[in-house]
Structure 1
């Protein structure tokens, strides 16, 4: 599964922003019923979200984040969805700590269940990362909830402090064959910082990144898309590998073998 390059969050309590988010150019929009919605607004947000999700949205994938399944609001989200005509592209599950969380939700919803995107938000998920990724595969993926993870561990939000959990998510999702989306960059006014950190996120192996503002979408989409030069080289690698009959080849003095070919194939 190829991850969304960009995943834009929009509060479920702001239905006036739903259509704007879909038109933002993001690969995916996640309507948030959890952290972005005050307790007094949960019911109204749930109704507005599920109503919006009854409509077709061709511009991008549109899903929603439920409240944690360990909470009453999470149960209300699931029951309301099951009783609705909503057709989300995906459901994001917060505070996921085991693959069993996803298996139980999938069993409860049956054929109504879309691909699931669990959020890893605390150290209690670390021992179960492989299990969580396997449960999300092949159609879903795993996203890092960086703010919650930092708060739970006492870590800073910087690159170095969260490197270990990012690397663990990349390894688990690669092994499971599902997508990996990184936490958002929290300063929407700092495009230089967004670009610099997102390059590191991409180079580590993530397929995409969450956004907190539409202004971040273009930069993130660009950084998670191969350049013309990268595509050209990937095509040459594929041709050289094919000409060698799937064996070792040399291209401009560089060794081309199966792992190199496979990386090029992903770019194509």
Structure 2
């Protein structure tokens, strides 16, 4: 499975019971914008949030940002009600984030409720429990899974660990490894200290270097930093183009580019980088 490059980068989530925030979320510059029907929505207004969220999906599919929804767990009453409501939306989400995912059953339920002729949304697993980390090899091979995202808050609560990078490194590494083995994206958890933008950049860079394809944001001020970290630099783009061009000229043989020897893995990485750039570049604009 090859994950669409458009689903990488900065993700932004906004509460479903606050429709006044929808225009800002959709115009924030995020690569993926999600409306939340789960944890950020109080129980008393969940029904209203399901109705209000229809306004989040007003543009044709395929426009940027990719528009998604985080439902409640499909094994709960709220999740079932979420799915029933979404199935009747005039314009349905491109992406569905499934929280507390722990088995292929979560995808069977979600796809069974939403899939329709001409409509098969990207389904992402939110990995946020110890059991989910243990079951990652089977979860990432579930039918219809498109990617995984990490939820540090619930995971740290369940394990009793801190939310520091070192304490969560094992879970993050497992997530990236399993996702890579299945050929899907892994998206890192939000950074919850809204005022420490230096630490946000540092954690984003570590997540990128570990292999995550993007990171969630919970406040608009976080988006420029996360976008910058996960956007290839002009130097990286030029190097990738040189690698691809040299490989094409060499007919797939190992070739020297600058001071390094370049083989198939480097070429594949360069092609993936250029695909991400193309996905984020408006038509007719040179990167």
TM range, smaller chain: over 0.9
Aligned counterpart, 1:178: 184
Matched, 1:106 2:115: no
User: For 1:262, which of 263, 268, 283 is the aligned residue?
Assistant: 268
Matched, 1:87 2:92: yes
* Contact 1:136 1:178 (8 Å CA) reproduced: no
Q: Could you state the TM-score of these two structures normalised by the residue count of structure 2?
A: 0.88
Question: What is the CA deviation profile of residues 58-85 of structure 1, one whole-angstrom value per residue up to 9, with x for unaligned ones?
Answer: 3411111111122211111111122332
Q: Could you state the TM-score of these two structures normalised by the residue count of structure 1?
A: 0.94
**Ranges in structure 2 where 5+ consecutive residues have no aligned partner:** 275-287
Aligned counterpart, 2:65: 60
CA apart distance, 1:113:
4.1
* Contact 1:137 1:178 (8 Å CA) reproduced: no
Task: Give SS of 2:140's match.
Answer: helix
Matched, 1:45 2:45: no
CA apart distance, 1:137:
5.6
Question: What is the RMSD of the two structures over their aligned residues, measured on CA atoms?
Answer: 1.6
CA apart distance, 1:86:
3.4
CA apart distance, 1:151:
0.7
Matches within 5 A, 1:67-216: 67-111=72-116, 112-135=119-142, 140-216=146-222
Q: How far apart in 2 are the matches of 1:81 and 1:113?
A: 13
Q: How far apart in 2 are the matches of 1:200 and 1:137?
A: 29
The number of equivalent residue pairs is 267
Matches within 5 A, 1:203-242: 203-242=209-248
User: Could you list the runs of 4 or more consecutive aligned residues of structure 1 that deviate by over 3 angstroms after TM superposition?
Assistant: 54-59
Q: How far apart in 2 are the matches of 1:133 and 1:97?
A: 10
CA apart distance, 1:118:
1.1
Aligned counterpart, 2:30: 26
**Ranges in structure 1 where 5+ consecutive residues have no aligned partner:** none
Q: How far apart in 2 are the matches of 1:222 and 1:137?
A: 30
Task: Give SS of 2:135's match.
Answer: helix
Aligned counterpart, 2:277: none
* Contact 2:190 2:218 (8 Å CA) reproduced: yes
Task: Give SS of 2:50's match.
Answer: helix
